[in-house]
Structure 1
Amino acid sequence: MTVTTFQSLTSCSKQRLEALFLLSPLAVLLAGIFNITDTKSILSRLIPIICVYCLFFYRDAIKHNWQTQSVRPLIATSLLAFFYFGFAHLFRGDEFGYSRTLVACLAYLLLVPWKRLPRQYLARFLPVAAILCGLNAMYEFWGMNIARVGVATNPIPYALFCAVMVLGSLHQLLSAKSRGVRLVSILGIGSAGMALLLTDVRGVILFFPIVMAYLALRILPLSGRAYLAVLLTITSLCGLGYKAFEEKIDKRIEFTAKEFSQIAKGNFNTSIGTRLTLWQQGKDTFLRSPILGVGDEVLHADIKALPIHHAAIQPHLHNQYIDTLARYGLIGLFILLAWILSPLFYSKPKGGVGARLDPLLTSVIFMIALAGLTDVPFHHTHLVYLFTLFTGAWLMMPIENTAPEISDS
């Protein structure tokens, strides 16, 4: 081996080690914080370390990242959200977790030299994270005898995380050319899909097949054969999932039917009845201050005053849009929606914005938007991290052949 060859191999090894270091927050995000209790604190400490490292060794990265047209709308709306919801914290004492998490995410996205990190690093890790998600769910369900898995957060945000992992694995299955990647992706779909069923979260499970079909049809060539293949595949997967957990699913269906029967009799002291009660209260609270909202304290007082016990003890309104309207008004809802949709847009060189509907990002946003109808995803900072870091990194990271110093090593 010549000296030049040895130096080249050493340089390549250093680049890969540095890439692992720079991407470690994403690894902790996808493999750790949703599966292991109290690991979110690792992420909040790891991100500042990465940022300081980048300030020393990649000072020009922030200029390049800011000029990246695909991510400007996300950064701009994140800053807008930080200031609006941050001021609500300063003047009304509202919760600051969402804004604080946004700051950490923005610092990481702006300071890391993404042009050195090809997208394949993140794309290939998604099926692995999905498998880890399934293993964790199996351990909780069969090893710890937990009826609804997701103890690191709670079953509802965990279900949304599982859904995103399945979507990431499906994307790799349909777009990757390597048989090995496809095999791992199939395992990821099965593992994270099983974990999703074990969360027993009806809203996410109900909407998920629609989003899966959307993603598949966005990637596959549009034809009658493709439509039929997607329909048969998703129907088969749903059938297998039902057969595997038939008793658990049948009990949930029976329980849901009883809930509707109780609501028809005027008894709203059920899970669905609680949501209906909270949504009605959210509408009434919103009308008291439609522009700026009433803030956390007033909304919590309104919830506690509800006559139905299960509704009175809830921390939020179980609907992202109604909850945001009540807390932060029309301005707050507009900013939140702009932030959620921002990864689908890019800034044009001469001003204005255009739309770029990346299949994976579109399906992830679609899934989160639908989940927001029955829960408050961004009440959980775990999901703020997931949405901001995943979409931002996906937009920033170049396609493999645009980063030769990494991809060709």
Structure 2
Amino acid sequence: MPIYNSFAVFLLLAISLVIASGFSLGAAMLVLGAVVLFRPNTRRARLERDDWLLMAVLAGYFGVHMVLNLAHQAPGREYDAPLRFLLAIPALLLLRAFPLQAAALWNGATVGAIGAGLLSLWQWLVLALERPGGSTNPIQYGNISALLAMLAACALARAIQLRQSLPWKLLHAAGVLLGLAACLLSGSRGSWLALPFCALVAGWLLLRAGQGRLMLKLATSALVTIALLALLPNSPLTARMRLAVTEADQYARSANADSSVGARLEMLRVGLQLAPQHLLLGWGKEGMMQAKAQMVRDGLASPSIQEHTHLHNEYVDALVKYGLPGLLTVTALFLVPLGLFATRLRRSANREVRLASAAGVMLMLSYLVFGLTQAFLTHNNGVMMLGFLIAILWSLSQQQPVGTANTA
């Protein structure tokens, strides 16, 4: 089972973006593999309070959405995304009972980041796509590429700490660079915002480990790379940032919502108007769509927002559709795992545990930032990557006892 689990985790990350819905295969393997836990005399993990708290958050997200969807008489498809968090629980139990090999996670992330970067370069250079997105939306593609780059950076740090051979270090470094390239080429500005937060966590870790010189080298390399990308002719980085500033200025001056940023700001305004009217249970998805359409007909909102099924902000979208319970559950989904991972990071003396915990902190920070410009949890890949990465990283962070922190 440890080999089976390791292979499933490797696949989940390695083919997550290069094959349509590639993340589903590894996730399905983990869920199906959990059937062995029902066999008599099968080894089971001794769960701690934090395990139960994490599973309660995952189950609570599903439970609250199930009740509210029933209240709003939502169609069956609205139960699909929340159900994925419930499915992450048996995967977590399986991984706690039969721990995977840590290298499977880090190597899978590196392979996935390299694949995402190469596919993006192919679509950009050969197919001449302005915003490469693989087989999904460029926004989701950029977000997941940022996650893979972050995990590949952790893999590189691990390779340095373990004094692995130069080819392994170069492979992980390639994963970081190509994952970042995929993120930048996607034009997903929300994912770009998450990168500095992850960099701060990585810098803090290097300082704690006495690697201040290495941190300065990496920070300098990152700044030089960003500067070079910004100075490139027709750079997608500078073009997208200038466009964002222009569109925000147009909305502020004339309420022009016929643009990416303008539509987001208009949806934010409309959402904040709708939310107070149904704070207890929310409008539901269909109710929100009908309310937006009515505002458009009454001339109170721009027609550009009418067809959007979410408000491009995780928190406002949850508040409008599901009221205060929806906002509280999505906040708990992000903040509780963040707190648990941060506690493990602060208190653990084990190198592998600290690395997995740091990755968990960066994962949750990324989703907190993604949610500012995209309702990522309304998309299958956003839900699957979050739920199952929480399970995977938490199982790794629990494989060693917690003790006094050190700089190992």
Taking structure 1 as the reference length, the TM-score comes to: 0.82
Matched, 1:396 2:367: no
Corresponding position of 2:176: 189
Q: Which amino acid aligns with 1:312?
A: Q
- Deviation digits for residues 333-377 of structure 1, max 9, x if unmatched? 112111222223459xxxxx9665532211121111011111111
Q: Which has the higher contact order (CA 8 A, sep 6+)?
A: 1
What is the CA-CA distance between 1:386 and the residue it aligns to? 1.0
Corresponding position of 1:80: 60
Q: Which amino acid aligns with 1:190?
A: L
What is the CA-CA distance between 1:68 and the residue it aligns to? 4.1
C-alpha spacing 1:380/1:198, structure 2 compared with 1 (3 Å):
same
Residues in 2 aligned to 1:322 and 1:343: alpha-carbon distance in whole angstroms: 21
- Deviation digits for residues 131-165 of structure 1, max 9, x if unmatched? 12212222332343322122422111111111111
C-alpha spacing 1:395/1:261, structure 2 compared with 1 (3 Å):
closer
C-alpha spacing 1:40/1:361, structure 2 compared with 1 (3 Å):
closer
Q: Tell me the matched-pair count.
A: 377
C-alpha spacing 1:174/1:143, structure 2 compared with 1 (3 Å):
same
Residues in 1 aligned to 2:243 and 2:340: alpha-carbon distance in whole angstroms: 45
Query: SS in structure 1 opposite 2:237?
Result: helix
Contact 1:47 1:104 in 2 (8 A): no
Residues in 1 aligned to 2:400 and 2:265: alpha-carbon distance in whole angstroms: 51
Matched, 1:136 2:130: no
Matched, 1:204 2:191: yes
Q: Which amino acid aligns with 1:339?
A: L
What pairs up with 1:194-343 in 2 under 5 angstroms? 194-221=181-208, 228-243=216-231, 246-263=234-251, 264-305=253-294, 306=296, 307-343=301-337
Residues in 2 aligned to 1:313 and 1:129: alpha-carbon distance in whole angstroms: 33
Contact 1:296 1:327 in 2 (8 A): yes
What is the CA-CA distance between 1:227 and the residue it aligns to? 6.3
What is the CA-CA distance between 1:192 and the residue it aligns to? 0.5
Query: SS in structure 2 opposite 1:220?
Result: helix
Corresponding position of 2:377: 378
Contact 1:207 1:370 in 2 (8 A): yes
Contact 1:133 1:195 in 2 (8 A): yes
Matched, 1:109 2:96: no
Q: Which amino acid aligns with 1:198?
A: L
Residues in 1 aligned to 2:168 and 2:129: alpha-carbon distance in whole angstroms: 32
Larger radius of gyration: 1
C-alpha spacing 1:112/1:245, structure 2 compared with 1 (3 Å):
farther
Query: SS in structure 1 opposite 2:15?
Result: helix
Corresponding position of 2:71: 91
Q: Which amino acid aligns with 2:282?
A: G
Contact 1:58 1:111 in 2 (8 A): no
Contact 1:299 1:327 in 2 (8 A): yes
What is the CA-CA distance between 1:118 and the residue it aligns to? 3.2
Q: Which amino acid aligns with 1:319?
A: N
Contact 2:139 2:186 in 1 (8 A): yes
Contact 1:213 1:234 in 2 (8 A): no
What is the CA-CA distance between 1:326 and the residue it aligns to? 0.8
What is the CA-CA distance between 1:101 and the residue it aligns to? 1.0
C-alpha spacing 1:141/1:90, structure 2 compared with 1 (3 Å):
same
Of residues 89, 101, 105, the one that matches 1:122 is 105
- Deviation digits for residues 20-49 of structure 1, max 9, x if unmatched? 433444334312343322546645754453
C-alpha spacing 1:310/1:55, structure 2 compared with 1 (3 Å):
same
Contact 2:99 2:395 in 1 (8 A): no
Contact 2:184 2:192 in 1 (8 A): yes
Residues in 2 aligned to 1:224 and 1:19: alpha-carbon distance in whole angstroms: 36
Residues in 2 aligned to 1:108 and 1:245: alpha-carbon distance in whole angstroms: 46
Contact 1:174 1:216 in 2 (8 A): no
Contact 1:127 1:169 in 2 (8 A): yes
Contact 1:30 1:129 in 2 (8 A): yes
Contact 1:68 1:396 in 2 (8 A): no
Q: Which amino acid aligns with 1:80?
A: G
C-alpha spacing 1:30/1:381, structure 2 compared with 1 (3 Å):
same
Corresponding position of 2:362: 363
What is the CA-CA distance between 1:312 and the residue it aligns to? 1.2
What pairs up with 1:138-153 in 2 under 5 angstroms? 138-153=121-136
Residues in 1 aligned to 2:73 and 2:153: alpha-carbon distance in whole angstroms: 42
Q: Which amino acid aligns with 2:285?
A: D
Q: Which amino acid aligns with 1:237?
A: T
Query: SS in structure 2 opposite 1:153?
Result: coil
Long gaps (5+) in structure 1: 1-17, 348-352, 403-409
Question: How well do the aligned residues superpose, as a CA RMSD in angstroms?
Answer: 2.9
Contact 1:345 1:354 in 2 (8 A): yes
Residues in 1 aligned to 2:397 and 2:277: alpha-carbon distance in whole angstroms: 47
Q: Which amino acid aligns with 2:170?
A: L
Matched, 1:159 2:129: no
Contact 2:65 2:82 in 1 (8 A): yes
What is the CA-CA distance between 1:202 and the residue it aligns to? 1.7
What is the CA-CA distance between 1:276 and the residue it aligns to? 1.0
